Structure 1
Amino acid sequence: MKLLPLKFYQLFVFIAIIGLPFLSLSQKSTIHIFGKVTDFDTKKPLSHVNIAVENTIIGTTTDKQGTFKLKVKNRNNFTLAFSYIGYEPFSKKVKANQLTDTLFINAELLFKPNVLDTFSVSSVSHPDTVFGSAFFSIADFEISQDKFIFLTYEKRLEKGSKVALIADEKTLLSQVEIPAKAKELFKDFLGNINVICENSVYSVTVEDKKIELTELPFEKFNSQLKPVVDTLEHKLVYSDYSPNLPHFDYYALNLLDTTKIHFKQVKDKPLEREYRFEYYYLKPKDKLMARKIAAKTGFDKHDVAAAMTNFSNSLYYQPLYAPLFVIDDTVMIFDHYENKLFKYDEFATLLDSVSINYHQLKSSLKWKRKVIKDEQNDKIYTLYEKNGYAYLRKIDTESGQPINNFKLFHRYVEKIKIKNDYIYYIYRPFESLQKKFLYKELIRSE
């Protein structure tokens, strides 16, 4: 065997010697950060503090003891940003030490009360994670007794979505793929859960901790099942609501003799005037066509004209929102156009009405056109938003006035539902690789 010249061996030894520090540094390219966050005055630990590496998607939160750990890769100098509701934001510049791959960083946050116009906000409740997976996101959910039904997806909801059954102890019991483009879950008046898809609908049933999907007639579901709001004795309470009309009515169908009683018509009067004038804006030949279609179909000529001009897609058109709830055998209609809460008995007799103005309050908080009933104790709440944060106010159904303000912990939450004084919602941290999880917060009174 031919030996290499001595200078080559000297070169190999030199590379081996000087290469060791570089090898050591490459192994320390990941920095492990440990620390604790406390209150500046009380020195008590703060849980759920958001900690992020600025200009990256790297971040974490503190645990119940206020401690955290974080991994930062391939960065010599960076800034850690600490944020927490009710406290001054705090940032700390970090200069990595090449001699170590572990850093210990503590932070103290200064309390600063947050005043919001005329709203007094109750103490912030820290959220609990109900369920989260590293493999799929939650798009929608329904609560069924002590279990959860999830609509899930890995990358896109429209492709490869599934229905999952989760036990109360956060155990995935069963899941099944949806054979269509799923949109949302819908709980009907019987408490049954359905998957609404683009052109189909499936009923979700659970037997022996396994999920089964059964396709339902799509047209019948939309025309006969979905319009039913609730039950009252032996009656079905329903509406003829259409998002394209500036009016709709609430009725009750007696299942014993099939008679129908009328509760109330909801109408946006200014919008109704604009809607009906669409007919008079038509050209003569189009008016004639509208009358012919109306005579043939039985629709009003004004409805036909508004459909011809595509009125409901105009910039100033907004679908009506006036929800109905049945509470203790009393039908309550929250009419946001007459600005009243109307109360009826089972025979559609008006018992009482009170003024409501929670949807018209002059404030920096924006009303989200949402009234939510607690699924277990029948308390009623309405929803506001400011800077991405959701605010709930309980509605006193005796006076019609909003009381007991509550601010949710996370920003930009989705699919809010309430059960037994807990708010459930879907959330994914901003600019995070985390999937969408389900969280809950306890509603605290002032």
Structure 2
Amino acid sequence: MLLAVPVAFAQQKVLNGRVLDTKTALPIEGAVIQFSNAEKAIATDAKGSFSLPIDTVFAGQMLIISHLGYEKFTLKLKPGQANITVSLTPKTNTLSEVRITASKKLKPAKVRPETVLDFGITNDRLFVLGWETGQKNPTLQVLNLYNDSLLMNCRLPVYAEKLYVDCLENLHLLTANHAFQIYLDSVSLALYPPETKATFEQHLFPCLTTDNENAYFRRNINKGIIVSFYTVNRQSHETKLFRMVADEAVLTMQQSEARFQFFRSGQNGADPEMNMNRTAHTLENNIAFAQKVMFEAPYVPLLKIGKEICLFDHVNGEIEFYERDSLRRVLPVNYHLQPNWDKQILIDAPQEKAYVLFRKNGLPELRLLDLQTGELLSTYKLGHPFAEKISVHNGQVYFLYKDPAKNFRQFLYKAPLNALQN
């Protein structure tokens, strides 16, 4: 027995290794490692590393390393080999499709004929929906958010248009009529069976954010003039009214306008001489004008920053901070009264920061909001007019821009905020 113990330990070994990109020397996450004569496989982690328990390596045993974005690599192991480093070569029809750059000047490293439709960030992954030359349907690319390495490239079976990240950080692929939930693991990507787009929007669009106890929903009343927020307990599914925001001045104007239109119409015994509307078409135009111009729905976002649920009440000029449904503090603000405010608040979730978006002559500016004083601090200028879908994540700004010099093809840009500071 004493002689048999070391023999048993000698036969059970671990093969450690790393998988890198040949061109960039960056680690490749999600590479599949398996022996040619075995069904079981493992995948590399975010550092490109893996540990594979093995028995004694026999001469001629083949190890296969594969990844959707790279050429397959086969390695003949040597007896007793315990550590390896493998470099994979990107597939020529995959790496060239990456449309993201981190240059300070925010210009694409190389002009390509493809165009980006949309992008989404969730679970430390960057998803890019774009077109390839000569392809019928778009391609969905999955990139490592921190080193921009391409993890996966999938040619979609459907004609997709948009990406949507819901309040639970799930990613969805939207077509003209349907919505698919995207499921991603280390080696594959799958689309859950679709539901109609109308049903999807009805149930998921109102959900704004979640915490450990509740999901927070929004409901617009009276064409958005009154905004109500309610919570749904994630365990008991009990629903409660959380907060309601209404602009009393707008409601008063709306009521006055309704009475004014009633008397002007000369209905129900009103003086016909007061009817200045010669036709029903004129009355309809007046009402439409009043709804669009006089009664603008307030911008009142409910956002999560760290552990707090923050209600940006721009009607009353304050931010309310809640934790576990309890109001912790109220912060007065006045940035919403400044000219050129674009009515957008951007949250950098990993860094727990908030940015206020301004636009002057179409040029976007991000201003850091001090969540303790309500003051605006540093200013960051993008320099790209009419940039769309601006997002901030971990100190990096992402946005879409249609380049007029490139036939208005849309590109995805990325840059560190400190490179944009004014």
TM tier relative to shorter chain: 0.5 to 0.7
Letter in 2 for 1:166: V
Q: 1:249 to 1:131 in 2, by over 3 A?
A: farther
Contact kept, 8 Å, 2:355 with 2:366, in 1: the verdict is yes
Q: How is 1:27-426 mapped onto 2 (pairs within 5 angstroms)?
A: 126-127=104-105, 134-153=112-131, 162-167=138-143, 168-170=148-150, 173-179=153-159, 182=161, 184-206=162-184, 208-210=187-189, 212=191, 214-241=193-220, 244-277=223-256, 279-280=258-259, 281-282=261-262, 314-347=292-325, 349-362=326-339, 366-426=340-400
Residue 435 of structure 1 deviates from its aligned partner by 3.0
**TM-score calculated relative to the size of structure 1:** 0.58
Q: 1:245 to 1:275 in 2, by over 3 A?
A: farther
- Per chain length, whose mean CA-contact separation is higher, i.e. which structure has more relative contact order (CA < 8 Å, sep 6+)? 1
Larger radius of gyration: 1
Which residue pairs with 1:61 in the alignment? none
Residue 214 of structure 1 deviates from its aligned partner by 3.3
Q: 1:136 to 1:187 in 2, by over 3 A?
A: same
Q: 1:131 to 1:138 in 2, by over 3 A?
A: farther
Please give the per-residue CA displacement for 1:247-294, whole angstroms capped at 9, x wherever unaligned: 111121123333333332122333222333454334899999xxxxxx
Letter in 2 for 1:353: V
Residue 235 of structure 1 deviates from its aligned partner by 1.0
**TM-score calculated relative to the size of structure 2:** 0.61
Letter in 1 for 2:301: P
Contact kept, 8 Å, 1:330 with 1:345, in 2: the verdict is yes
Residue 310 of structure 1 deviates from its aligned partner by 5.1
Residue 151 of structure 1 deviates from its aligned partner by 3.0
Please give the per-residue CA displacement for 1:84-125, whole angstroms capped at 9, x wherever unaligned: xxxxxxxxxxxxxxxxxxxxxxxxxxxxxxxxxxxxxxxxx8
Q: CA RMSD in A?
A: 3.6
Quick one: distance in 2 between partners of 1:286 and 1:240?
35
Which residue pairs with 1:73 in the alignment? none
Please give the per-residue CA displacement for 1:119-166, whole angstroms capped at 9, x wherever unaligned: xxxxxx8245689772321121102345422233479xxx96625123
Q: The residue matched to 1:240 in structure 2 has which SS?
A: strand
Q: The residue matched to 1:411 in structure 2 has which SS?
A: coil
Q: 1:285 to 1:426 in 2, by over 3 A?
A: closer
Contact kept, 8 Å, 1:193 with 1:204, in 2: the verdict is yes
Quick one: distance in 1 between partners of 2:154 and 2:175?
20
Q: 1:354 to 1:166 in 2, by over 3 A?
A: same
Contact kept, 8 Å, 1:132 with 1:437, in 2: the verdict is no
Q: The residue matched to 2:404 in structure 1 has which SS?
A: coil
Quick one: distance in 2 between partners of 1:136 and 1:383?
29
Letter in 1 for 2:348: D
Please give the per-residue CA displacement for 1:196-246, whole angstroms capped at 9, x wherever unaligned: 444432323335344536312434422322211111222111111369220
Which residue pairs with 2:36 in the alignment? none
Q: 1:276 to 1:140 in 2, by over 3 A?
A: farther
The number of equivalent residue pairs is 297
Bigger shift: residues 435-444 or 141-150: 141-150
Contact kept, 8 Å, 2:122 with 2:165, in 1: the verdict is no
Q: 1:310 to 1:213 in 2, by over 3 A?
A: farther
Quick one: distance in 2 between partners of 1:197 and 1:236?
26
Q: 1:439 aligns with which of 392, 399, 413?
A: 413
Residue 413 of structure 1 deviates from its aligned partner by 1.5
Q: The residue matched to 1:273 in structure 2 has which SS?
A: helix
Bigger shift: residues 220-229 or 231-240: 220-229
Quick one: distance in 2 between partners of 1:386 and 1:331?
30
Quick one: distance in 1 between partners of 2:266 and 2:212?
48
Bigger shift: residues 311-320 or 435-444: 311-320
Letter in 2 for 1:359: H
Quick one: distance in 2 between partners of 1:214 and 1:411?
39
Q: 1:177 to 1:417 in 2, by over 3 A?
A: farther
Q: 1:423 to 1:271 in 2, by over 3 A?
A: same
Bigger shift: residues 432-441 or 202-211: 202-211
Q: 1:277 to 1:216 in 2, by over 3 A?
A: farther
Quick one: distance in 1 between partners of 2:222 and 2:157?
30
Q: 1:330 to 1:144 in 2, by over 3 A?
A: closer
Q: For structure 1, which runs of at least 5 residues remain unmatched after alignment?
A: 1-124, 289-305
Please give the per-residue CA displacement for 1:40-62, whole angstroms capped at 9, x wherever unaligned: xxxxxxxxxxxxxxxxxxxxxxx
Contact kept, 8 Å, 1:189 with 1:228, in 2: the verdict is yes
Quick one: distance in 2 between partners of 1:420 and 1:188?
19
Q: The residue matched to 2:374 in structure 1 has which SS?
A: coil
Contact kept, 8 Å, 2:176 with 2:197, in 1: the verdict is no
Contact kept, 8 Å, 1:243 with 1:319, in 2: the verdict is no
Contact kept, 8 Å, 2:368 with 2:377, in 1: the verdict is yes
Q: The residue matched to 1:276 in structure 2 has which SS?
A: helix
Quick one: distance in 2 between partners of 1:243 and 1:206?
40
Contact kept, 8 Å, 1:165 with 1:211, in 2: the verdict is no
Q: The residue matched to 1:126 in structure 2 has which SS?
A: coil
Q: The residue matched to 1:409 in structure 2 has which SS?
A: coil
Contact kept, 8 Å, 1:139 with 1:153, in 2: the verdict is yes
